Amino acid sequence: MKQHKGSQDAMGLRFGIVVARFNKFVTSKLLSSCVDGLTSHGVKADDIEAVRVPGAFEIPLVARTMARTKRFDAVICLGAVIQGDTPHFDYISAEASRGIGQAALDADVPIIFGVLTTHTIAQAIERSDPTKFNRGGEAAKSAIEMATVMRLLRVGEEIPPSAEVPRVRKAKKRAPRERK
Ligand code: INI
């Protein structure tokens, strides 16, 4: 049996990060652990681009747009949706997860779900603590594994994953010929 496995050697790979500002006390920690995770596996700081968005609801569109540029081997989404007293949580978390999954399929680029969805603030603080299991660092590892395994699978494809998207020229419209 042939097996394909990603690695944690991220040298030369490029990553996009989309990070929500909502619950910044949590998402800023996710971001720093994610960047540390990438650079500690060999990614150059210049090869990481981060975009901030208002909240988790806005993440999918920006992640999809970044992924579709084909400038990144993977895009990492970071956010924190914390349950309150209203059903708002359900709408935001459902849309973020559905949208991020859809964006990856649309763009054909790995997009990593590093969005915390927790019942309490304490749970969110615990899962973003850089000294403990941290979802930002975990997201970095998943992104590297997915980027490397996709490179393996794509050997032989004509367009490498991080190549620029070729511009498609629109055909000029010709005036219809007059019938004789
Ligand atoms: N956005 C979050 O990222 N986390 C939350 O917990 C949250 N709550 O609870 O409201 C949240 N709301 C904002 C939302 O993501 C959008 O930014 C807003 O609705 C504008 O579209």
Task: Quote the CA–CA distance of 177 and 102 in Å, as a whole number.
Answer: 44
Residues whose CB falls within 8 Å of the CB of residue 132, separated by 6 or more in sequence, listed in order: 126
pLDDT at 154: 87
Asked whether residue 163 is assigned to any structural domain, the reply reads no
pLDDT at 166: 46
Task: Quote the CA–CA distance of 9 and 148 in Å, as a whole number.
Answer: 8
Residue 80 belongs to domain with CATH number? 3.40.50.960
The pTM of the whole model exceeds 0.85: yes
Asked whether residue 27 is assigned to any structural domain, the reply reads yes
Catalytic residue, candidates 4, 41, 88, 119? 88
Task: Quote the CA–CA distance of 174 and 172 in Å, as a whole number.
Answer: 6
Asked whether residue 111 is assigned to any structural domain, the reply reads yes
Count of structural domains within the chain:
1
Asked whether residue 5 is assigned to any structural domain, the reply reads no
Burial of 123 (0-12, 13-18, 19+ CB in 10 A): middle
Enclosing domain of residue 66: 15-153
What beta strand segments (E) does 11-106 contain? 15-20, 48-53, 74-82
pLDDT at 155: 82
Asked whether residue 6 is assigned to any structural domain, the reply reads no
Summarize pLDDT for 99-146 with one digit per residue, the tens.
999 999 999 999 999 999 999 999 999 999 999 889 999 999 999 999
pLDDT at 157: 67
Asked whether residue 34 is assigned to any structural domain, the reply reads yes
pLDDT at 84: 83
Q: Which of 85, 78, 91 is nearest to 26 (CA)?
A: 78
Cα 134 to averaged position of ligand 1 atoms, centre (Å): 21
82 CA closest ligand 1 atom index: 6
Asked whether residue 134 is assigned to any structural domain, the reply reads yes
pLDDT at 4: 85
4 catalytic? Reply is no
Cα 109 to averaged position of ligand 1 atoms, centre (Å): 25
Positions in the chain short of pLDDT 70? 156-176, 178-180
